[in-house]
Homo-oligomer: A and B are copies of this chain.
Amino acid sequence: VARGDVTREHILRQAASVFNRLGYAGASVSDLETATGLRTGGIYRHFPGGKEALAVEAFRWAVDRVDERLAAAVGAPGDAMARLHALVDTWADYGASPPMPGGCPVMNAAIEHDAGGSGALRRQALDTMDRWRALVRDLVAAGQARGELSAGPSPDAVATTLLATMEGAIMLAGLYRDHAPLTHAAEQTKAYLDATLSPT
């Protein structure tokens, strides 16, 4: 753990926050300077690829923070439905204790980079979203296979809808600067899961 690595981690942490709050285009290297307390010389020493390379790594760093939360939820005790509820609650926690300020990095990247750009960030956002959807989908599929959940809705449709709802709710919570949308969405999502996936 050399001094350089500490600085590198420091830069990543601050950059992740800056990019997630201001967006890639909206964040300037000067913003990163003030956030890190470093000058361009220092930043470029650690990230020779410049703003873009730093953004890519910062994005990965941010996603890691979210994944830590998800890992805890998906490993929760109980049956499939309990774990689904735990996952929904984890997303709902974005209101009370966000793992990253500025909203969900994946959604932010998806919105900002839906057109143009080098595509690296869009690619990463897509891959992450795929992982997250797989998480829910597999959980549903396994529950259905085990008979803990009804076989009605396709796991993919459930996963997509669950993620759409919670991501949309994070967006609304950010817009309103209020947790209520997340609370409502979590509650209704759980009701939806109960209504459509409870074993008969």
Chain A residues with CB under 8 Å of chain B are 21-23, 25-26, 102-103, 107-108, 110-112, 114-116, 122, 125-126, 129, 153, 156-158, 160-161, 163-169, 171-172, 174-176, 180-181, 184-185, 187-189, 191-192, 195-196
| Residues of B close to A195: CB separation below 8 A | 191-192, 195-196
| Residues of B close to A116: CB separation below 8 A | 21-22, 26
Q: Judging by beta carbons under 8 Å apart, are A160 and B175 in contact? A: no
Q: Given contacts A22-B116, A157-B184, is CB(A164)–CB(B175) below 8 Å?
A: no
Q: Given contacts A103-B111, A192-B195, is CB(A164)–CB(B176) below 8 Å?
A: no
Q: Judging by beta carbons under 8 Å apart, are B114 and A111 in contact? A: no
| Residues of B close to A191: CB separation below 8 A | 153, 192, 195-196
Q: Judging by beta carbons under 8 Å apart, are A125 and B175 in contact? A: yes
The CA of A183 and the CA of B191, in the complex, are separated in Å by: 21
Offer 25 A-B interface pairs, CB within 8 angstroms, sorted by A: A21-B114, A22-B116, A25-B26, A107-B111, A110-B175, A111-B111, A111-B174, A112-B112, A126-B176, A160-B180, A160-B181, A160-B185, A161-B169, A163-B172, A164-B164, A164-B165, A164-B167, A164-B172, A165-B185, A166-B168, A168-B168, A191-B192, A191-B196, A192-B195, A195-B196
The CA of A42 and the CA of B171, in the complex, are separated in Å by: 36
Q: Given contacts A157-B184, A195-B195, is CB(A102)–CB(B129) below 8 Å?
A: no
Q: Other than the known A102-B115, A164-B164, A192-B196, what 13 A-B pairs have Cβ atoms closer than 8 Å?
A: A22-B115, A107-B111, A111-B111, A129-B172, A153-B191, A157-B188, A160-B181, A161-B184, A161-B185, A164-B167, A164-B181, A192-B192, A195-B196
